[in-house]
Amino acid sequence: MKDIIEAIKRSSLKIRDIIEDGDTAKSDNQNSTGDTQLKLDIASDVVIENEFKQLDCIKQIVSEEQEHIVNINESGKYYIAYDPLDGSSLVDVNLSVGSIYGIYENDFTGSNIVASIYVVFGPRVEMVIADGETVKMYRLQKGEFNYIQDIKLNQKGKLQSPGSTQACWYPYHKDMIDNFFKDGYRLRYSGGMVPDLHQILLKGGGLFSYPSTSDLPKGKLRQLFEVFPFAFTYECAGGQAIDGISRVLEIETTHIHDTSPCFFGSNAECEVVKEVYSNNG
């Protein structure tokens, strides 16, 4: 695992340079989810693949930006799914973006995730590692990632990040979001799940939602690259990650690019979601 963390650190330094100097234009390609890839997405993906290819402990990798699994070492132990540059369309307006890594054993299944790592590229570069017991944050300072703090969610927070197209929300979902606002929750939504979820984690709690909608019944966020890694982080931090009713990490993945509705939050907010969705889903 140490080798994987070091490879992620090296990749992050290169990706930071790509963000600073790279071309934010679209490429001519689409990824498997149908998004037009930016040149930044592709360049970041190449960096990570080249780093991971050098590690014997990795059996397979799969990227949000590639259609297929890539075999690395037949006798490797780890399977890594990653989103090289989540929120890449925010780079040209200079908002924060991130990389997300889910580290699995045996196969790419939610119940087999053993660690997750994300890196936020904002005014600062920060890396957060969840290993099943703790969630630790490191900050890039003078070329080194230094330990800053452990992250623990409060039982209840004050922020909410309600994702997706509001015009396509189901009425019970809209009522639930409205009720959180009536209870005093403040809106925090940048359009990048890495900084949005990072903010909720660091400010003690709240709720990030990307629900099933009339246009996207299975949500938008991808299980292996986005939903499972953050689910693991939130659970390790003492919070929850659910599809409305059940833990997202119990979802069966039928295809590597499957998506799922998801809610990440502290316990009080997730209990409200479960109540609303059990009565309406």
Cβ neighbour number for residue 203 with a 10 Å cutoff: 15
Give 104 or 169: the residue with its C-beta nearer to ligand AHG.
Answer: 169
Residue 24 to residue 13: CA distance in whole angstroms: 18
* Local structure of 174: helix, strand or coil: helix
Task: For the segment 6-35, give every residue that binds Mn ion (CB under 5 A).
Answer: none
- Regarding 235 and contact with Mn ion (CB under 5 A), the answer is no
Residue 219's binding partner, choosing from Mn ion, ligand AHG, none, with beta-carbon cut-off 5 to 8 A by kind?
A: none
Please, what is the angle between helix 171-182 and helix 267-280, to 10°? 150
Of 110, 45, 51, 53, which is closest to residue 83 (Cα–Cα)?
A: 45
Give 49 or 64: the residue with its C-beta nearer to Mn ion.
Answer: 64
Residue 89 per-residue DSSP state: G
Residue 86 falls in the annotated catalytic set? yes
Q: Which of 49, 83, 235, 243 is catalytic?
A: 83
- Regarding 269 and contact with Mn ion (CB under 5 A), the answer is no
Span near Mn ion by CB under 5 A; candidates 43-51, 66-74, 75-83, 101-109:
75-83
Q: Which of 35, 131, 258, 271 is catalytic?
A: 35
Residue 83 falls in the annotated catalytic set? yes
Residue 67 falls in the annotated catalytic set? no
Residue 120 to residue 23: CA distance in whole angstroms: 19
Sorted by sequence, the CB contacts under 8 Å of residue 181 that are 6+ apart come out as 160, 187
List, in sequence order, the alpha helices (H) in the chain: 2-21, 39-52, 171-182, 193-202, 228-236, 267-280
Residue 21 falls in the annotated catalytic set? no
Report the nearest approach of ligand AHG to the CB of residue 242 (Å): 17
For ligand AHG, the binding residues (CB under 6 A) are 35, 83, 86-88, 163-164, 191-193, 220
Give 59 or 240: the residue with its C-beta nearer to ligand AHG.
Answer: 240
Residue 35's binding partner, choosing from Mn ion, ligand AHG, none, with beta-carbon cut-off 5 to 8 A by kind?
A: ligand AHG
Give 67 or 178: the residue with its C-beta nearer to Mn ion.
Answer: 67
Q: Which of 38, 40, 85, 140 is catalytic?
A: 85
Q: State both tokens at 46.
A: 């190449």
Give 151 or 221: the residue with its C-beta nearer to ligand AHG.
Answer: 221
Cβ neighbour number for residue 76 with a 10 Å cutoff: 17
Whether residue 93 contacts residue 74, with contact meaning beta carbons closer than 8 Å, is answered with: no
Residue 64 falls in the annotated catalytic set? yes
Q: Which of 51, 196, 226, 235 is catalytic?
A: 226
Catalytic residue annotation: 35, 41, 64-65, 83, 85-86, 226
Which stretches of the chain bind Mn ion, using CB under 5 A?
64, 83, 86
